[in-house]
Amino acid sequence: MLTSITEGILCCLTGKVAGLVLSLESTEPSDGFEFVEVKPGRVLRVRHIVPERQPVVTEGQVAGNEKKDAEDDDDDDDDGGGGGSAHDCNDSNTGSSVHCKRKITVYRNGQLVIENLGDVLHSEILQCRDGDLEPCSTVEVELADYKEMPSSPDPKPVTPPVPPPLGEQKPAPPPRRRRRKPKRTVQIDSKRVISSCKGTHSDVALFFVHGVGGSLDIWGSQLDFFSRLGYEVIAPDLAGHGASTAPQIAAAYTFYALAEDLRAIFKRYARKRNILIGHSYGVSFCTFLAHEYPDLVHKVVMINGGGPTALEPSLCSIFQLPSCVLHCLSPCLAWSFLKAGFARQGTKEKQLLKQGNAFNVSPFVLRAMMSGQYWPEGDEVYHAELTVPILLVHGMCDKFVPMDEDQRMAEILLFAFLKVIEEGSHMVMMECPDTVNTLLHEFFLWEPDMSRKDRIKTATALGDTLHTLKVNKPVEK
């Protein structure tokens, strides 16, 4: 503590910022670690693990092996593990086609009305594997900017009032807010193929994105687990975090600068079907990539990401203090993060925090990251436009992200699955790795069962036919 205060005083006197970021050379084994220059002088450390698979069939062998591959298709589909093959990719592309159709209307009084006109899938993953098809519905919420304004139901036709009996007083009706001309209307009409993603599929890649103060090391349990299952995994260190370079200009840590870094990483390692897994601030970057590349992003996992509101830095935050002051307070900040980020603060949690290299960034980077969280485009409409299936994971003991924010996110999204882990907190993937790994894996393998939808349509059509026959049946004399 005294050392930190002394260094902070020297920092103020000299005008220099003490750097706590690890050097570019990682002290861990080099296997699986790469350094990618996304811009001149801007280098990110990336852990990239490619599983060992069978040799890819060459063009000269395709004609001779077509018959054998066709005969082996059934056997390979039943095999849940082992190495991948060339035709795994082709078999995995046949999934369930879901019709994504919705109308999003923003009114000037702050109302957001979402009309789901196509398929909507909501379920509890662990209890209902295939998902339930819900009928067309309408979602009406208040925008974040208008939370202080009271809401009211849809206006109904005015009917003549009935006079109350003598001696009784009619209560005053609740205030109604009349809808005015729509401010903005968005139409979505597309079809998405959703299929199971196995580790044996060579066209599947998993991207893990950490949040403020973290590093790729917080995903250690997930990277090891899914790489052993045969998945190709990619996890970068954000600029100024882990072993990535740390530019000493605040503009290097804005949302847009970091998003462009991740865009470069995504374009470099992306396969035909990609699954994005984000934590905290990293969820915003996953949302950005899913919005930018809807055909390449197959599924998204949001872990303690918060509500679907536009990002804006707080002007009254402790992170607005000078970097030298934050350096003096770094031990207190680390303890506060441990207390709020973990459900328990024992020896195990302290060791996890140390192993995960979390909150080990310089005060300058920390201040610039918090001040650079400005993303006005990422509002409710931006999230409502997503048609990718999304799994929301929330730690019940999280003191950073309230539960109602993830509930609001699930309400806005088209295909949303919310799972709450009672014994977890903000760093739930480190506290409960087995639970999170199992939950994520089931989501990766999940594929909607559209046969139930077909049965409902058939039954409805059959009922209409029987009703018509019954009505039109001639009367016997």
Q: What is the DSSP string of 73-104?
A: HHHHHH--SS---TTHHHHHT--EEEEEEEEE
pLDDT of residue 120: 79
pLDDT in tens, 298-349: 999 999 999 999 999 876 666 666 667 665 656 666 666 777 788 887 887 7
pLDDT of residue 181: 79
DSSP 253: G
- Give the whole-angstrom CA distance, residue 403 versus residue 17: 37
Q: Which amino acid is at 8?
A: G
- 388 pLDDT above the threshold of 90: yes
- 126 pLDDT above the threshold of 60: no
pLDDT of residue 167: 54
- 377 pLDDT above the threshold of 80: yes
pLDDT in tens, 359-372: 678 889 988 999 99
Positive/negative CA dihedral, 409, 413, 419, 425: negative
The per-residue pLDDT of the chain, averaged, comes to 76
| CB 391, CB 421: distance < 8 Å | no
- Write the CB contacts of 406 (distance below 8 Å, at least 6 apart in sequence): 302, 304, 305, 306, 307, 392, 394, 418
Question: In 139-157, which positions are buried (b, 16+ CB within 10 angstroms) versus exposed (e)?
Answer: bebbbeebeeeebeeeeee
pLDDT in tens, 219-239: 999 999 999 999 999 999 999
**What does the pLDDT average to over 250-257?**
96
Higher pLDDT pick, 109 / 145? 109
pLDDT of residue 462: 39
Residue (of 342, 44, 336) closest to 218 by Cα position: 342
List the Cα angle 216/221/223 in 5-degree steps. Answer: 60
Residue (of 247, 268, 270, 269) closest to 40 by Cα position: 247
Q: Which of 134-143, 263-272, 342-351 has the highest mean pLDDT?
A: 263-272
Q: For residue 477, what are its two tokens?
A: 């004399």
| Helices 330-341/347-355 angle, 10° precision | 110
pLDDT of residue 62: 37
- 455 pLDDT above the threshold of 90: no
Residues in the chain: 477
pLDDT of residue 75: 47
- CA 116 to each of CA 45, 99, 109, 141: distance values in angstroms, whole numbers, following the listed order: 42, 11, 21, 14
Percent of the chain with pLDDT over 90: 49
pLDDT in tens, 3-43: 343 344 334 433 344 333 333 333 344 568 999 999 999 99
Catalytic residue ranges: 280, 398, 426
| CB 335, CB 349: distance < 8 Å | no
User: What is the pLDDT confidence band of residue 218, given thresholds at 50, 70 and 90?
Assistant: very high
Neighbours of 390 (CB within 10 A): 26
SS3 42: strand
Q: For residue 367, what are its two tokens?
A: 């201040």
Strand-pair partners of 421: 395
User: What is the pLDDT confidence band of residue 110, given thresholds at 50, 70 and 90?
Assistant: confident
User: What is the pLDDT confidence band of residue 465, given thresholds at 50, 70 and 90?
Assistant: very low
Q: Give Cα 463 to chain centroid, integer Å.
A: 41
Positive/negative CA dihedral, 448, 452, 456, 462: positive
- CA 126 to each of CA 123, 132, 297, 298, 446: distance values in angstroms, whole numbers, following the listed order: 9, 13, 23, 20, 10
Question: In 259-285, which positions are buried (b, 16+ CB within 10 angstroms) versus exposed (e)?
Answer: bebbbbbbeebbbebbbbbbbbbbbbb
User: What is the pLDDT confidence band of residue 121, given thresholds at 50, 70 and 90?
Assistant: confident
**What does the pLDDT average to over 81-92?**
43
Question: In 293-320, which positions are buried (b, 16+ CB within 10 angstroms) versus exposed (e)?
Answer: bbebbbbbbbbbbbbbbbbeeeeeeebe
pLDDT in tens, 189-200: 999 999 999 999
- 437 pLDDT above the threshold of 80: yes
For 400-406, which contacts have Cβ atoms below 8 Å and span 24 or more sequence positions?
A: 400/280, 400/304, 400/340, 400/341, 400/426, 401/280, 401/304, 401/305, 401/306, 401/426, 404/307, 405/306, 405/307, 406/302, 406/304, 406/305, 406/306, 406/307
